[in-house]
Structure 1
Amino acid sequence: MNTLDPASARPDYASLQQAAEWFAVLSSGTATEQQRQHWQSWLDARAEHRNAWARVESINQRVDTLGTAMDQHTAASALQTATKTVRMRRRTLGTLGAILALLLGGKLIHGLPPVRHTLAAWRADYRTGIGEQFSETLADGSHLWLDTDSAADVRYDGQLRRIILHGGALLVRTAPDTARRPLVVDTPHGRLLALGTWFSVRHNDGHIHLSVFEGTVEIQPAATGAATQRVAAGQQASFTRDASGPLQPLVQPQPQWQDGLLIADEMPLAEFLAELGRYRRGHLGCAPAVAHLKVVGAYPLHDTDRALELLATALPLRIRRTLPWWVTLEAR
């Protein structure tokens, strides 16, 4: 396996496409020795090629890890059960420990999405796989939705209604509590205190993003002495352990993903594909020449291939499938 060359950590679009094409050739089972030699020459020619090849290998491994690779182990059925959107506390810790031991022993964890790197996520009350969503009415009447590739625990006691987001995104519509217990969402970067509200929380790389659709939510960053910030309906903000970012108006007045839709209103194509790509395995991207095109409309999240077909009809684009898990959009 190749590793990233520090001389060029970000391979360009052309190098990535060439790497994907070479991967398709070499994995076809019909590659000739001459083709292998040409691939090696291409790989040795530039650091960008080596980084692109490492990127393609990483994505392939990530796709295979929960697919073909797991089919080779007797733990496959247990893992499939463990990833369903049900209460994980009903599974024994021994079973989960055995699954994790098998995964780690076989080095299958490498390259998986961050939510799957933690034991807490594996043991979560609720979790979803890539492309899955889930909803549940909680004991107090509040409603919880989980987005794709997410994990959360629910901990209610006599003093507090607590939801713990381990990764991914959730949406909460709170209900009045007869015991007057506060409802909070805890994240790795701090706590969110709901003040009679409807809001979503998303765990991004390095920060948490909050969107408030009704009521008010108070951000309480985890660092000692960090200032709190209240976010009202129609506002959004990001925060880290140390501080909250500036308040911004919501782009959408209400969430859409819980209805299985990705709503775009003049959204740049590159941004649209990055969001749609969260709901499918593998690589989804576009050529730089079309990255600026504006996307408008409602697209299904539960059928991303259909969403791409609709997109290619609405815009002058063609879908290029170099591999089943490597899809790019280019000018038509």
Structure 2
Amino acid sequence: MSAAAERLPEPIVRTAIDWQMRLRANGGNAELQRQLQDWLRQDPRHQLAWQRLQQMSGLFQASQLPSATQSIPLLQRAEADLSRRRMLKLLSLGAAAGGVTLLTANAPPTWHTDLATTTGERRLVDVGDGVKVLLNTGSAMDVQGQQLLLRAGEVQVDGAKWQVRCRFAECNGHQARGLLRERDAHSEIRVEQGAVLVSGASGQRWLQAGEGLSVSARGMTTLGKGSLDPAAWTRGLLVVNDIRLGDFLAEAGRYRTGWLGCDAAVADLHLSGVFHLDEPQLMLRNITHLLPVKIVERTRWWVRIVPVA
């Protein structure tokens, strides 16, 4: 099936529409823009949904944007067939409700990936030659002969000999198990076992077990121990130590569909704990036992953490 004809899952389309609404209302919010980019990188289908939405919806004029009471019930109507035709119908309803302009165009193509996971999914794949890859939530990878190409997200690679190319580096593992993650402006490589040769624009460097490296267009930087256990996700956990609530929610949001954020008044609160990734709702409820905050849910896919009154 071509990218233009690909049918997208309902939660992805609804989330893309929600992002469109919020950006039109808060276009200058840098944190919102960053969160959108995080969401787009999680899954190639997120990018496809966003591209289609931009092409199909044209420009929502801010002066005519529907209010939350209008737009949220409207978005909740997307419950069944969300093919490209259904998306057009839904957006047409939005135009009627808010008096916005709707422009249509052909959806642009997106890149194809051999291996991918949806939001909240982890997937173990044997790619041959004794190499196994565990993909984290919203990740995508191509298999090009004996070389693996990390397109988005995060993976654990384990095997006697493997080669992974990411955005800013090429990694060659020798009897190694490593973690690779793509971020906004850099690639992260961490070694759990064995040794990995990392090659970037600024040179090469060997990494041993317990070491990590950030590679960008500007060079290589050693990764220290942070507030997030980088390998915990491989065990189905999110393990944090003295992490900012804002940073915690950005990480936790990778594992659930929709938007997850917090009020600026509580973003700098810190917490520590062990959370189960397969229980996202329980994860959020546990925050309220650790910090003086409460959960505000407009819908099941729009959640905001705010101070306790």
Matches of 2:218 and 2:73, distance apart in 1? 52
Q: Which residue of 2 aligns with 1:137?
A: 126
Q: Percent identity over the alignment?
A: 26
Q: Which residue of 1 aligns with 2:56?
A: none
**Larger Rg computed on CA atoms:** 1
Asked whether the 8 Å contact 1:213–1:254 carries over to 2, the reply is: no
**1:309 offset after TM fit, Å?**
1.0
Verify: 1:26 aligned to 2:73, yes or no.
no
Q: Which residue of 2 aligns with 1:207?
A: 186
Q: SS of the residue aligned with 1:138?
A: strand
Verify: 1:243 aligned to 2:219, yes or no.
yes
Out of 221, 241, 251, the position equivalent to 1:265 is 241
Out of 151, 160, 166, the position equivalent to 1:187 is 166
Asked whether the 8 Å contact 1:260–1:300 carries over to 2, the reply is: yes
Q: SS of the residue aligned with 2:69?
A: helix
Which of the pair has the greater relative contact order for Cα pairs under 8 Å at 6+ separation? 2
Matches of 2:228 and 2:301, distance apart in 1? 30
Matches of 1:173 and 1:129, distance apart in 2? 21
Asked whether the 8 Å contact 2:228–2:241 carries over to 1, the reply is: no
Q: TM-score, length-normalised on structure 1?
A: 0.62
**1:325 offset after TM fit, Å?**
2.3
Amino acid at match of 1:10: N
Amino acid at match of 1:288: A
Per the alignment, do residues 106 and 234 of structure 1 end up closer, same or farther by CA in structure 2, a change over 3 Å counting?
same
**1:265 offset after TM fit, Å?**
1.4
Asked whether the 8 Å contact 1:235–1:249 carries over to 2, the reply is: no
Q: Give matches, 1:83-122, under 5 Å.
A: 107=107, 118-119=110-111
Matches of 1:253 and 1:29, distance apart in 2? 38
Q: Give matches, 1:163-182, under 5 Å.
A: 163-174=148-159, 176=160, 182=161
Out of 75, 79, 82, the position equivalent to 1:70 is 82
Out of 245, 262, 269, the position equivalent to 1:293 is 269
Out of 155, 159, 177, the position equivalent to 1:198 is 177
Q: Which residue of 2 aligns with 1:36?
A: none
Asked whether the 8 Å contact 2:227–2:243 carries over to 1, the reply is: no
Matches of 1:207 and 1:191, distance apart in 2? 13
Asked whether the 8 Å contact 2:174–2:194 carries over to 1, the reply is: yes
Q: Tell me, which stretches of 5 or more residues in structure 2 are unaligned?
A: 1-19, 33-65, 88-103
Matches of 1:271 and 1:191, distance apart in 2? 28
Q: Which residue of 1 aligns with 2:16?
A: none
Q: Tell me, which stretches of 5 or more residues in structure 1 are unaligned?
A: 14-21, 31-59, 76-103, 110-116, 177-181
Q: TM-score, length-normalised on structure 2?
A: 0.66
Q: How many residues align?
A: 238
**1:126 offset after TM fit, Å?**
1.0
Q: Which residue of 2 aligns with 1:10?
A: 29
Q: SS of the residue aligned with 1:245?
A: strand
Q: Which residue of 1 aligns with 2:199?
A: 220
Matches of 2:129 and 2:144, distance apart in 1? 12
Q: Which residue of 2 aligns with 1:312?
A: 288
